[in-house]
Structure 1
Amino acid sequence: MTDRINIQEINPRAYQAMFALEGFLATTSISKSHKELIKIRTSQINGCAFCLDMHIKDALKNGESPQRIYTLSAWRETSFFTEEEIAILTLTEEVTLISSGVSEKTYERAAGLFTAIQLSEIIMSIVTINAWNRIAISTHLKPALENR
């Protein structure tokens, strides 16, 4: 793979705008665990190794169960996730794969479990990690290999 531009270096104002979104998301009522589940699941769908590496490490530091992370891509086949997390993961998948839209069932389920503010925060979290994935993938950002 060829080297590609580093947007943070050549256009720092663009990154500042993205970091402003992150700053907002840091103030929301969504739990750290829910935020990391959104980031990891979105990054799995989009195939973003850089973001997966970062957010799996963050989730583990925040006390997330390794077992839940290992099985996240097959979450429907487990009983490891709460009703709220199932709603978040379903919404995450449908927003990330937006060409099919977000179904009424998925939206209504989430709207029944979260306040309007929380739902808006969840959607903004999903949208933001999708943007980060697209930046990382299109510019070939790679995670650093750690010593084994």
Structure 2
Amino acid sequence: MKQRMNLADIDPAAYKAMRGLEEYMAQSELNILLKELIKIRTSQINGCAYCIEMHALKARENGETEKRIYAISAWRESPLFSEEERAVLQLTDELTKLGEEGVKDETYDKVLTIFGEKKLAEIIMQIITINGWNRFAISTRMMHNK
């Protein structure tokens, strides 16, 4: 596989728009490890090797353990995640795999109860943002390090 194009060079305005979302997320109140958890899980679902590698590295740099990073793909069966993280991972799965059911009321309500409206909005935007980056990377075949 080889990279198809460098979208940032071909269409700098599109890249700038994506960076704008990333800059918004950098200002959010969400914990950095929760952000990286969302990014890794979304990238796993979408099959984005570039983003999985990038965000696993960032998670490690910010104190995440190898054991938890490995367990993200099987979070439902793992005892390593808190109730709050499980709620966010469920929302991440449902919003990324949107499908016919969309986001279930019970999932939405649980995250809302745990985090409140402002943080729920930030969680939703984090999921949307990484889904955008995954599509950016997958469609252009961005390559991660060997």
Measured against the shorter chain, the TM-score band is over 0.9
Question: In structure 1, what is the Cα distance between the partners aligned to 2:111 and 2:141?
Answer: 34
Matching of residues 53-92 of structure 1 within 5 Å: 53-92=53-92
Pair 1:128 & 2:135 matched: no
| Matching residue of 1:101 | 102
TM-score for both structures, normalised by structure 2:
0.97
What's the CA shift for 1:38?
A: 0.2
Larger relative contact order (C-alpha < 8 A, sep ≥ 6)? 2
Partner letter of residue 33 of structure 1? L
Question: In structure 1, what is the Cα distance between the partners aligned to 2:116 and 2:17?
Answer: 26
Matching of residues 37-52 of structure 1 within 5 Å: 37-52=37-52
Q: CA RMSD in A?
A: 0.9
| Matching residue of 1:111 | 112
Distance 1:3 1:39, change over 3 A: closer
Question: In structure 2, what is the Cα distance between the partners aligned to 1:85 and 1:3?
Answer: 34
Question: In structure 2, what is the Cα distance between the partners aligned to 1:26 and 1:3?
Answer: 27
What's the CA shift for 1:79?
A: 1.1
Cα deviations by residue, 1:18-66 (Å, 9 ceiling, x for unpaired): 1111111011110000000000000000000000010000000000011
Deviates more, 1:35-44 or 1:77-86: 77-86
What's the CA shift for 1:107?
A: 0.6
Q: Is the 8 A contact 2:56 2:69 kept in 1?
A: yes
| Matching residue of 2:21 | 21
What's the CA shift for 1:2?
A: 5.1
Q: Which runs of 5+ in 2 are unaligned?
A: none
Question: In structure 2, what is the Cα distance between the partners aligned to 1:86 and 1:10?
Answer: 39
How many residue pairs get aligned? The number is 145
Q: Percent identity?
A: 50
Question: In structure 2, what is the Cα distance between the partners aligned to 1:120 and 1:139?
Answer: 29
Question: In structure 2, what is the Cα distance between the partners aligned to 1:4 and 1:75?
Answer: 33
Structure 1 stretches of at least 4 aligned residues deviating more than 3 Å after TM superposition: none
**SS state at 2:63 partner:** coil
Q: Which runs of 5+ in 1 are unaligned?
A: none
Distance 1:73 1:3, change over 3 A: closer
TM-score for both structures, normalised by structure 1:
0.95
